[in-house]
Structure 1
Amino acid sequence: MANSLPWEIIADILSRLAVKDLLRYRCVSKPWCSLIDGPDFIKLHLKQSLETTSHHRVIFGDRTELYWVDLVTLDSAVRLPYPIDIGRGIDVLGGCNGLVALANKGGDVAIWNPSTRSYRTLLISEHEFYFLSDSFEFVMSGFGYDPIADDHKLLMKMFYTLVDEEPQDLDYYSEVEIYSVKAQTWKKVDDFPDHFVYRPGSGVVVGRALHWSVIRRSDTSNWIFAFDLVAEDHRELALPDDKDVKTSRMKLVNLGGCLCFAVLCNYNQDSKKSDRVDVWVMREYGVKESWSKLFSVAPSSVTGPFWYVVPVAYLKGGDRILLDQDGEKFLLYDVKRKRVKKLRGSSFPRIFDTLVCVGSLVGLDGDDGEGSGKKAGKKRKGKEQSDKKRDDFLSKGFKLVL
């Protein structure tokens, strides 16, 4: 029967299936394998999954364990194996189109597809020789997609601590770089503004840009800092004229494809609790006047006292929103009845931060797999180059923090 169907129909049918099924169906025949592995089908499958919000999962966990759960069934969580050593902890740097960027405290970075288990490891910039002991940290990061270049990009702002000739003299240095998955190269980003305080964390992807919540130094007010992955430049997005929004703590998210934030109203630093959380959404991207308050959540018998409540994603049908409370548990917000409900029938490990990830076949341009000789050789070559740059750097009168 399959042979009697046009390939367009076969491709359309297969594009609606989950990744785990498609990986099995590669064994049906060589033509099916070529179809499923082909770039056109991979894009068709991703487009179908994004438009129908099917095959979406929520990734969550702490720095030593990572899990995901199906966004439709919200049943038992599945533990995910890390593609790099855990070391002293793993940071999730961002995710887009089924790919997730990870890093450990030792300076190892991986771009990883948890659906196919393919990944690529890379050196952090050309400054690998800085990354000894506690001499560096990630100030901010983000991972998104450039639709014009058809390229996934990882942005990282890193902060280094160096020691001058005298051990008591510390020198601090920060740098912003962007990694191209297609070109497999890092590039320095110049002219990053210094009139903001950048909160640590991964950028929120909306469209072709990454977004972070920042504080303007001059008046300590909240702003949104955006980095366009196509033009590779930055801009600022104004927030609504609301006192709580301007001065209270806030968390950015992508909700249904729109830029959204949760603001912690009357946050008490001592008790680490808030009176309520207001959730705002930008209906028309880049237009300040399109900000509108979506809903509010106040402490109740369902929630108890809380620090924050953050929307994670719309559930199927759009009449319920999955909420993350304090990184401790999931709740449901009923859009029609405008009230919070418990998520029944499921128990999860500690949630910590969440990331919505679509199941996709998106690969890494042939450099996939687990520790190939090609990658090991590239690592050795990078190490040799790094050693030379380290020696050149040290000859200028600096030494590393040990």
Structure 2
Amino acid sequence: MCPINEDPMTTGESLPYEIIADIFTRLPAEYVLLYCQAYRALRPFTANSSFVEMHLQRATPIIAFQWFSRSAIDKSKTICKVNLSFTDENAKKIVTKRFEVDLRFGCPKRLCLPHLHSSCNGFLLLRNRLPDTAYFLWNPVIQEQVIVTTPIVTRPSRTECTACGVFFHPTARDYRLLFTYNEGVRIKSMVLSLATKSTRLIPNTVSHPPDIVRPPIVLNGALHWMVDDIYYNSLRGDWPVCSDSIVFFNMNKEEFGTMSHPGDPCPLTGQHYLKGLVEMEEHLCYYDNSSHDELVIWMLDDYEKQGWVKKHVIIIAEMRKSCMVLGVSIRSYREARVQVIHMYGDNLLLRVYYRNLFLYNLTLGTFRRIGKMSADSDSRVRAVGHINSLVSLSSTMSR
């Protein structure tokens, strides 16, 4: 391509396109967007799919989190405003951005409390808390927003679907939402293509429901969750065994499967909510928070042979005690006291007692708080690992 030199302050020869592209893929997405908006000759970068993909691969993860409480819904409002917070690449500076939903289109009954669920290639997925009438995809860098109305299955009976996560189909090259729904005592699933707006019912039954309250771990061409014990028990009348405790969805084949978690079998049934999954060093990892004093982390060293190795044992007793919420029933939330959210270099992002975020340094053995603890005793925080990107769903849909 031709050299670029449109900056009136630039003197001398301009750099070749390839060198500029290489430099830009190493800059934060916000800076790339600002430069491209300022200089017309740079604007093709944001429309170039190869550049956007390379920038995405080189981007440094950050933390996106949201505070929310069980506040009453004001049906008189036509615009729902949600504040989301983002760290910088060093998790030291926090910036708040506002996400707005026009309730006349996304939620005509104006029952809308969007809360953060997961992240995929720069897009945040927000679920409507009550009920799941709509889902919201938002890229906070380019400010692109997509509202997805919850699909409804009408046969054999009218059933609403619940989203498990969003993913990029490796073969079709489009973004899709994965849903599950009940068909009597069976669990079925479907995918919704954001490019074509079409849905596809997956013929096979989902043997074990994923715990969709937590975001999936996307790795090795699949989405991964812990099993939802309560959902399984409500349909089957018994509890899932540990050999089927990790649920995965192959993105290319669009098929569900299960695998066993490492370590000893759980001593009690219905306790898989105390376990969780996280990505570390490009490996799927499993953590066990059933102990009051320590957090045990296992790494799936061989994905094909399902070979696990114990990686870390983190002492959490003092940190947990310092954040304990008095008068709150832990079991009422069916969530672990300490959750591992994401890994940043040598640091693990932990959520403690629903309202606290910490970075734990695996090398130094130290904890550092992220943000401030809310003064509202009823508030909770949701956090996900996120990448600021220039990905546009509208560009993907047009290809």
TM-score range, shorter chain: 0.7 to 0.9
Deviations 1:23-74 (A, max 9, x none): 222234433111222212111211221xxxx252333333774422224133
User: Shift in Å at residue 8 of structure 1?
Assistant: 0.2
1:272-311 alignment runs, 5 A limit: 274-300=292-318, 303-304=321-322, 307-311=336-340
Q: 1:327 aligns with which of 334, 347, 354?
A: 354
Residues 285/152 of structure 1: CA separation in 2 closer, same or farther (3 Å cut):
farther
Equivalenced residues, count: 339
User: Shift in Å at residue 137 of structure 1?
Assistant: 6.5
User: Shift in Å at residue 362 of structure 1?
Assistant: 0.5
Deviations 1:120-143 (A, max 9, x none): 22332255999x9xx8573x6111
User: Shift in Å at residue 322 of structure 1?
Assistant: 2.4
Is the contact between residue 116 and residue 127 of structure 2 (CA under 8 Å) also seen in structure 1?
Answer: yes
1:25-104 alignment runs, 5 A limit: 25-49=35-59, 54=60, 56-62=62-68, 65-70=82-87, 71-83=89-101, 85=103, 87-104=111-128
Is the contact between residue 346 and residue 361 of structure 2 (CA under 8 Å) also seen in structure 1?
Answer: yes
Amino acid at match of 1:365: S
TM-score, L = length of structure 2: 0.73
Is the contact between residue 59 and residue 67 of structure 1 (CA under 8 Å) also seen in structure 2?
Answer: yes
Q: Partner residue of 1:358? A: 387
**RCO higher in 1 or 2 (8 Å CA, sep ≥ 6)?**
1
User: Shift in Å at residue 95 of structure 1?
Assistant: 2.0
For the residue of structure 2 that corresponds to 1:16, the secondary structure is coil
For the residue of structure 2 that corresponds to 1:81, the secondary structure is strand
Q: 2:206 aligns with which of 193, 197, 208?
A: 193
Q: 1:114 aligns with which of 140, 165, 172?
A: 140
Residues 111/79 of structure 1: CA separation in 2 closer, same or farther (3 Å cut):
closer
The alignment status of 1:148 with 2:158, answered yes or no, reads no
Q: 1:259 aligns with which of 284, 293, 306?
A: 284
Cα distance in structure 1, aligned partners of 2:201 and 2:68 = 30
Cα distance in structure 1, aligned partners of 2:298 and 2:102 = 36
Is the contact between residue 212 and residue 224 of structure 1 (CA under 8 Å) also seen in structure 2?
Answer: yes
List alignment gaps of at least 5 residues for structure 2: 6-13, 72-81, 104-109, 325-335
Cα distance in structure 2, aligned partners of 1:128 and 1:25 = 49
Deviations 1:216-251 (A, max 9, x none): 766632311110111111222222142349854212
Amino acid at match of 1:242: D
Cα distance in structure 2, aligned partners of 1:360 and 1:117 = 11
Is the contact between residue 116 and residue 361 of structure 1 (CA under 8 Å) also seen in structure 2?
Answer: yes
Residues 246/145 of structure 1: CA separation in 2 closer, same or farther (3 Å cut):
farther
Cα distance in structure 2, aligned partners of 1:353 and 1:123 = 23
Cα distance in structure 2, aligned partners of 1:325 and 1:106 = 26
Cα distance in structure 2, aligned partners of 1:199 and 1:301 = 26
% identical aligned pairs: 19
Q: Partner residue of 1:181? A: 194
For the residue of structure 1 that corresponds to 2:20, the secondary structure is helix
Cα distance in structure 2, aligned partners of 1:95 and 1:322 = 15
Q: Partner residue of 1:377? A: none
Residues 8/189 of structure 1: CA separation in 2 closer, same or farther (3 Å cut):
same
Cα distance in structure 1, aligned partners of 2:55 and 2:24 = 8
Is the contact between residue 209 and residue 229 of structure 1 (CA under 8 Å) also seen in structure 2?
Answer: yes
Superposed CA RMSD: 3.4
Cα distance in structure 2, aligned partners of 1:358 and 1:262 = 23
Q: 2:223 aligns with which of 210, 228, 231?
A: 210
Amino acid at match of 2:111: G
Cα distance in structure 1, aligned partners of 2:199 and 2:218 = 20
Cα distance in structure 1, aligned partners of 2:192 and 2:239 = 33
Cα distance in structure 1, aligned partners of 2:31 and 2:221 = 30
Residues 76/93 of structure 1: CA separation in 2 closer, same or farther (3 Å cut):
closer
User: Shift in Å at residue 197 of structure 1?
Assistant: 4.9
Amino acid at match of 2:259: L
Residues 241/353 of structure 1: CA separation in 2 closer, same or farther (3 Å cut):
same
Q: Partner residue of 2:34? A: 24
For the residue of structure 2 that corresponds to 1:27, the secondary structure is helix
Q: Partner residue of 2:240? A: 220
Is the contact between residue 19 and residue 361 of structure 1 (CA under 8 Å) also seen in structure 2?
Answer: yes
For the residue of structure 2 that corresponds to 1:192, the secondary structure is coil
TM-score, L = length of structure 1: 0.72
List alignment gaps of at least 5 residues for structure 1: 161-170, 267-273, 369-402
| Greater Cα shift, 245-254 or 218-227 | 245-254
Residues 292/151 of structure 1: CA separation in 2 closer, same or farther (3 Å cut):
farther
For the residue of structure 1 that corresponds to 2:178, the secondary structure is strand
For the residue of structure 2 that corresponds to 1:243, the secondary structure is coil
User: Shift in Å at residue 213 of structure 1?
Assistant: 0.8
For the residue of structure 2 that corresponds to 1:36, the secondary structure is helix
| Greater Cα shift, 349-358 or 9-18 | 349-358
Q: Partner residue of 1:231? A: 253
